[in-house]
A and B are shown apart, each in its own frame.
Chain A
């Protein structure tokens, strides 16, 4: 009996100390209770919202999602189904690149929402407002990429996940409305330029204006787009030398380039370096470590041939031969890092998300679309042409509205090729199907103007009732 009571005592003692013994707190990770205590915590949260720009525009899968399947860029290695399906429009909703793109866009939305919902009190009010402005700028960019790829998508505008997590698709109009509102809120609060060198790379009011022009144009509201193009008049200039646009020495100079996705060489791949040189570099020369590229994709012969012979951009933006190896079709030479281009997927290049040449061409396009009279649309177009060493286009050329639009589209191809614009331009000008047939002999269906919502997103969200028509 004595032993039994000793045993019971022992058990009792063990029991009471059990629960305390079982309390283990995370040591290397934070939890919501301790992660948002200081202004620095919130700056880090905002940094992470910026970080998704790298994945959405220069990710391993997303890098050319807006260019495969156009007449501008093609995969060379059709042995990889994921590549050939995008070129040939044989993809289904389970294509891994859509899944990845959709995922990183919404990751960006989530991170932006976290900052937008920042409670008052931790960060001083002025700073907090500017931080929220940056987050709205970013959220607008992420939603813009979603809406032009997939059409109407579910809208998440809160950081809380306690509400209904299965949200239905919003209409394209609703998505654009949110995007425009976010961008306008950002425009109102962001500085024209960040005075501190350490802040270079953050969103500015000019970046918001340039994006508003791009957004309204794609939303088919050229008059509004024009307003924002006009706001940028005289704020930026074109580099005289074409190479200067992409030269890593000119990063964040705010001369021609309005907003850049930031990268820096980091000493190992998979960190903060960019993969652009390794993906676009010349083929057959020994791979990235010899300033070459993986060779999986590159320009079509069509895009190279479409330049006029004396167009300076053809020689500036293309390599026809490197190290004695002929490049056929020629290689894209926009993204060339002379210092770290021979390091695997760790170069120094920023990705220029929007630049003044684009704004000028948008202005010409918007003026034309709104039937503006006068020389303004020619001026805007010719600024870009002159730098390329091309002659002016004037009223004397007697172009009607459609013909002028065609000229702008061609000019955009030559100026902005490989800058992730072609698919959206072709869609906006209504030329995707025709140009694919005419230029690269690929026939597509009408429904291909939208990509399918990724299958895994459909599977995980019961509120999405169906995919885009045709898929």
Chain B
């Protein structure tokens, strides 16, 4: 009875509630928890609705059980049922593509939906996956067709970027970087990632040809943040972390080393210090001795705001990293001020101003990496003590190697860079639809490398100390002026832009070198040294003038066309050969706007693009066309009467016909969006043909000239890029999005010169330009093969090398192709989860299809009279009783034992790396944060490089120097970001 009564009461109550109108309130934010103004809120199946105010707040009368629909351009629609819980706060997430986004295209901007070229926008928030490192390295995996390798993970080390394959042998493969209209040499390393509003990668001929002679390797356009009208915003970001070295190499200890060295080298001379260390049963772990846990912190503050007349952005960023190798560090201070003023309704002006000051303490990376910090640590014998009994650095290393601990204690090699970049623009609209804009900018960079090598570092170094000062200065000036006319009538949209530009770079440097000087004043008082010189200085200048234009035509939002043209004149070529012209054209068809597609609801966007055009590369250095006569240097100088006799030599012959490298590119692309753009992405096919390669064609050796810089040969790059972004889940409190991209590139030399190969440089027609051409190692000669081995002057236990041409001798004629060093495919995979205030990102990068020459293996995995070897070698080297097929016997003079010239040290380079995991929590706006007047606080923790799956055994699968690498590290990061 009681039960029944209860049920009735409940029923009545609920029916009352069901029909009663209640006041629903809440806040709508975007994925970054920034309130969104103007979000439309409607009640399904009714006409009632409202919109959010400037703080993202809304209120609406609704009944329980009503369905509220939240919609805003570029965001996925979210539907929520009204329940008891109040307020209803909504976080909107982006569609997998935002077609209304306005993106930079160089000398202008365009809506994404209007693009005809292959342009990838990189979202600056994805760059947070690489908090430790530079903005260039943070581009890794963020755009298909853009291959980023970290090269060196040392503090301050930058990454290299190659867009759509290597197209040049000599003129460089780096893309053109343009930050707020100013070209930047050497990547984005100086830029604070927090200042970046957007990055666009121009990949095809149509989009890049507006940069003409500098566009053949693609263009990366960076736009920095501006202030917006309305309330001032202050953002504070702080994060800090530790780094732990990865892939420490497993090396023999002192006892194992003693045993092996005594066995293999009869006259090995043990120093008394080594024997004492051995008698104590100790061993020196040199890797531990030179490494430590790295530390890192990054603080950033940004203030922005604006009125109807002026908007401004001020950013300051401090980045500080202490490396995993002792005494290596990097810090950088970046200041930026951007201002835009609207003088009246037809006149605007503004500035972009950026100052960077950085300081890098480097590990020892001198030309001969055999003396480098990390190589010394790996190769030093474990029997050697760090210090001798009297406290001095032990200096009895094999073959003049330095004491690794002395290097990290004493080497002072500091690079300081100061850069100031400023640009001011004026823009006016003299008549309706015509905009004239003039941008004028300048940059000064001062670059200092101070080094002091203390004599105590070891035998390799000058006993009395050696100091050098390098000072370089770059001055750059540029003016760019454009006029843009837009016309819009019914179905026709037309925009025409034309402009001219001129720029000049002056560069100068000098090196001062002194020996035998006070270790206290070091490079700060070269005057106090006993010996001076050799000193060097150099200066050069180059200029570029250009005319360019672009026509965009859009018919009925269905048919789009772009024609671009640039003419460049460069001082780098001889008179008469200075001008190059770089045209391109593109067409796009928005299939989804056609009536026959319009009514297929699953298809939200479909656009077919095709483009073709020509680009150039003038990056060959200055005066390359001229015959040059150099004076001085060991190659030219002699000694007469015991004194230096300066020599003068003609080193190059002139080539007045020298001209640009030309890259012709064809691109076919498809942009797609399905299910209200919950699934979106693009596919691009490209074919890039680089001709007139700037290449050093060998001259007959008898001429005394090595080669002549000539336009010859051809390289083809073909590839496929595939990108897919999906919103897998979009519930009220939970969302899951995925981004995946993969790029395949096939690189081939199509022609060199006169149908020839260049075996010396490992360049072969119809092969990848990074092809290995080596002898084939085939394991180890075994006891039962002694007779055959003897034919090749080998004995069992030596490395077996294939006599491919069966002529009875092993030499260069037995070489064969052994894979390539550039990955055949690469990409990334990102998963982002959000649950209420919690967010989780998993970011993977991968590459594969290539082989890496693990040059450390040369020393570690064969008997090496010059230093330590791996534990694997100790446990596995060949003996008649223990026939290894991998590790040659420890015999001095064993041919090919270290694998040089063979493929023995090549390893598969394929890898998948969980580059970043980040877990964050954003406090709701109605929590305590109100009391400190904050509009948002997020805390987070991240792990960088948590797992890498690879067969490669060296320090880092991405490292470019494997002999003296900087070990990669796992970073543990915690951070806080506050908005006011």
By a beta-carbon cutoff of 8 Å, the part of chain A in contact with chain B is 3, 7, 10-11, 14, 18-19, 21-24, 26-32, 35, 41, 43-45, 47-48, 50-51, 53-54, 76-81, 84-85, 88, 90-95, 99, 102-103, 106-107, 109-111, 113-114, 153-154, 156, 161, 165-167, 196-202, 251-252, 262-264, 266-268, 270-272, 283-290, 294, 324-326, 328, 344, 454-457, 459-463
B817, chain A: closest CB distance, angstroms: 16
Which of B296-336 touch A at CB < 8 Å? none
- Please provide the 5 A-B residue pairs with the shortest distance between their CB atoms, ordered closest to farther: A110-B704, A48-B647, A289-B459, A44-B648, A94-B812
**Does A294 lie within 8 Å of B811, measured CB to CB?**
no
A383, chain B: closest CB distance, angstroms: 30
A-B contact pairs, 24 of them (CB 8 A): A26-B628, A29-B630, A30-B630, A31-B627, A31-B628, A44-B647, A48-B649, A51-B638, A76-B892, A79-B895, A81-B896, A88-B793, A94-B813, A102-B701, A113-B704, A161-B653, A166-B700, A197-B641, A201-B640, A285-B269, A286-B269, A286-B396, A286-B459, A460-B701
Residue in B closest to A80 when the chains form the complex, CB atoms = B900
Q: Given that A28-B537, A30-B629, A271-B534 are contacting pairs, would A200 and B704 also be in contact in the complex, using a CB cutoff of 8 Å?
A: no
Q: Please give, as numbers and ranges, the residues of chain A lying within 8 Å of B793 by CB-CB distance.
A: 78, 84, 88, 90
Q: A27-B539, A79-B862, A267-B533 are in contact. List 8 more A-B contacts (CB 8 A).
A: A18-B569, A78-B895, A88-B793, A90-B810, A198-B643, A200-B640, A262-B640, A454-B701
> Does B626 sit at the interface, judged by CB under 8 A?
yes
Among B92-100, B134-142, B182-190, B540-548, the one that faces the other chain is B540-548
Give 1 or 0 for each of B619-650: 1 = CB within 8 Å of chain A CB.
00011001111110011111111111111111
A170 and B759 CA atoms in complex are apart in Å by: 26
**Does A263 lie within 8 Å of B639, measured CB to CB?**
yes
**Does A3 lie within 8 Å of B639, measured CB to CB?**
no
B684, chain A: closest CB distance, angstroms: 36
A106, chain B: closest CB distance, angstroms: 5
A68, chain B: closest CB distance, angstroms: 14
Q: Given that A27-B539, A76-B893 are contacting pairs, would A262 and B638 also be in contact in the complex, using a CB cutoff of 8 Å?
A: yes
Q: Please give, as numbers and ranges, the residues of chain A lying within 8 Å of B701 by CB-CB distance.
A: 102-103, 106, 454, 456-457, 460-461
**Does A90 lie within 8 Å of B647, measured CB to CB?**
no
Q: Please give, as numbers and ranges, the residues of chain A lying within 8 Å of B812 by CB-CB distance.
A: 92-95, 455
**Does A287 lie within 8 Å of B459, measured CB to CB?**
yes
Give 1 or 0 for each of B416-449: 1 = CB within 8 Å of chain A CB.
0000000000000011001010000000000000
**Does B623 lie within 8 Å of A156, measured CB to CB?**
no
Q: Please give, as numbers and ranges, the residues of chain B lying within 8 Å of A10 by CB-CB distance.
A: 481, 500
> Does B267 sit at the interface, judged by CB under 8 A?
yes
Q: Given that A29-B629, A84-B793, A94-B813 are contacting pairs, would A24 and B622 also be in contact in the complex, using a CB cutoff of 8 Å?
A: yes
Q: Given that A26-B622, A27-B540, A325-B267 are contacting pairs, would A32 and B700 also be in contact in the complex, using a CB cutoff of 8 Å?
A: no
A30 and B399 CA atoms in complex are apart in Å by: 41
> Does B901 sit at the interface, judged by CB under 8 A?
yes
Q: Given that A24-B571, A80-B900, A289-B400 are contacting pairs, would A165 and B700 also be in contact in the complex, using a CB cutoff of 8 Å?
A: yes
A369 and B798 CA atoms in complex are apart in Å by: 47
Q: Given that A23-B571, A51-B647, A94-B812 are contacting pairs, would A28 and B539 also be in contact in the complex, using a CB cutoff of 8 Å?
A: yes
> Does B728 sit at the interface, judged by CB under 8 A?
no
**Does B760 lie within 8 Å of A456, measured CB to CB?**
yes
> Does B926 sit at the interface, judged by CB under 8 A?
no
Residue in B closest to A194 when the chains form the complex, CB atoms = B641
Contacting residue for A22 out of B569, B654, B705, B895, CB 8 A: B569
Q: Residue among B538, B542, B811 with the most chain A CB within 10 A?
A: B811
Q: Residue among B398, B701, B897 with the most chain A CB within 10 A?
A: B701
Q: Please give, as numbers and ranges, the residues of chain A lying within 8 Å of B431 by CB-CB distance.
A: 3
Contacting residue for A110 out of B483, B622, B705, CB 8 A: B705
**Does B626 lie within 8 Å of A31, measured CB to CB?**
yes
Q: Please give, as numbers and ranges, the residues of chain A lying within 8 Å of B473 by CB-CB distance.
A: none
A245 and B300 CA atoms in complex are apart in Å by: 71
**Does A18 lie within 8 Å of B545, measured CB to CB?**
yes
**Does A106 lie within 8 Å of B645, measured CB to CB?**
no
Q: Given that A79-B895, A92-B812 are contacting pairs, would A31 and B637 also be in contact in the complex, using a CB cutoff of 8 Å?
A: no
Contacting residue for A111 out of B547, B628, B649, B898, CB 8 A: B649
**Does B434 lie within 8 Å of A3, measured CB to CB?**
yes
**Does B500 lie within 8 Å of A11, measured CB to CB?**
yes
> Does B531 sit at the interface, judged by CB under 8 A?
yes
Q: Given that A32-B650, A199-B640 are contacting pairs, would A26 and B540 also be in contact in the complex, using a CB cutoff of 8 Å?
A: yes
Contacting residue for A287 out of B400, B462, B642, B644, CB 8 A: B400
**Does B515 lie within 8 Å of A79, measured CB to CB?**
no
**Does B571 lie within 8 Å of A272, measured CB to CB?**
no
Contacting residue for B894 out of A78, A165, A462, CB 8 A: A78
A84 and B540 CA atoms in complex are apart in Å by: 45
Q: Please give, as numbers and ranges, the residues of chain B lying within 8 Å of A198 by CB-CB distance.
A: 640-641, 643
Q: Please give, as numbers and ranges, the residues of chain A lying within 8 Å of B623 by CB-CB distance.
A: 24, 26, 29
Contacting residue for A167 out of B630, B654, B700, CB 8 A: B700
Q: Please give, as numbers and ranges, the residues of chain A lying within 8 Å of B450 by CB-CB distance.
A: none
Residue in B closest to A461 when the chains form the complex, CB atoms = B700
Residue in A closest to B645 when the chains form the complex, CB atoms = A47
> Does B602 sit at the interface, judged by CB under 8 A?
no
Give 1 or 0 for each of B79-114: 1 = CB within 8 Å of chain A CB.
000000000000000000000000000000000000
**Does B704 lie within 8 Å of A284, measured CB to CB?**
no
Q: Residue among A107, A197, A325 with the most chain B CB within 10 A?
A: A107
A283 and B515 CA atoms in complex are apart in Å by: 29
**Does B700 lie within 8 Å of A154, measured CB to CB?**
yes
Q: Please give, as numbers and ranges, the residues of chain A lying within 8 Å of B569 by CB-CB distance.
A: 18-19, 22
**Does A161 lie within 8 Å of B648, measured CB to CB?**
no
A421, chain B: closest CB distance, angstroms: 23
A113 and B705 CA atoms in complex are apart in Å by: 13
**Does B811 lie within 8 Å of A91, measured CB to CB?**
yes
A116 and B531 CA atoms in complex are apart in Å by: 37
A264, chain B: closest CB distance, angstroms: 5
Q: Please give, as numbers and ranges, the residues of chain B lying within 8 Å of A103 by CB-CB distance.
A: 701, 706
Give 1 or 0 for each of B845-882: 1 = CB within 8 Å of chain A CB.
00000000000000000100000000000000000000
Contacting residue for B759 out of A94, A106, A263, CB 8 A: A94
Q: Please give, as numbers and ranges, the residues of chain A lying within 8 Å of B649 by CB-CB distance.
A: 45, 48, 111
A51 and B633 CA atoms in complex are apart in Å by: 10
Q: Please give, as numbers and ranges, the residues of chain A lying within 8 Å of B698 by CB-CB distance.
A: 456, 459-460
A114 and B538 CA atoms in complex are apart in Å by: 26
Q: Please give, as numbers and ranges, the residues of chain A lying within 8 Å of B759 by CB-CB distance.
A: 94, 455-456, 459
Q: Given that A26-B540, A271-B534 are contacting pairs, would A167 and B702 also be in contact in the complex, using a CB cutoff of 8 Å?
A: yes
**Does B640 lie within 8 Å of A51, measured CB to CB?**
no
Q: Please give, as numbers and ranges, the residues of chain B lying within 8 Å of A272 by CB-CB distance.
A: 634, 637-639, 644
Contacting residue for B639 out of A32, A95, A201, A284, CB 8 A: A201
A14 and B622 CA atoms in complex are apart in Å by: 23
**Does B642 lie within 8 Å of A200, measured CB to CB?**
yes
A124 and B634 CA atoms in complex are apart in Å by: 29
A47 and B705 CA atoms in complex are apart in Å by: 18
Q: Please give, as numbers and ranges, the residues of chain A lying within 8 Å of B542 by CB-CB distance.
A: 24
Q: Please give, as numbers and ranges, the residues of chain B lying within 8 Å of A28 by CB-CB distance.
A: 537-540
Which of B381-400 touch A at CB < 8 Å? 396-400
Q: Residue among B398, B459, B639, B892 with the most chain A CB within 10 A?
A: B639
> Does B554 sit at the interface, judged by CB under 8 A?
no
Which of B341-355 touch A at CB < 8 Å? none
Contacting residue for B704 out of A88, A156, A268, A286, CB 8 A: A156
> Does B756 sit at the interface, judged by CB under 8 A?
yes
Residue in B closest to A323 when the chains form the complex, CB atoms = B269
Q: Residue among B269, B434, B483, B578 with the most chain A CB within 10 A?
A: B269
Q: Please give, as numbers and ranges, the residues of chain B lying within 8 Å of A325 by CB-CB distance.
A: 267, 269
Q: Residue among B431, B459, B629, B646 with the most chain A CB within 10 A?
A: B629
A471, chain B: closest CB distance, angstroms: 10
**Does A22 lie within 8 Å of B571, measured CB to CB?**
yes
> Does B410 sit at the interface, judged by CB under 8 A?
no
Q: Please give, as numbers and ranges, the residues of chain A lying within 8 Å of B699 by CB-CB distance.
A: 165, 460
Contacting residue for B702 out of A7, A24, A153, CB 8 A: A153
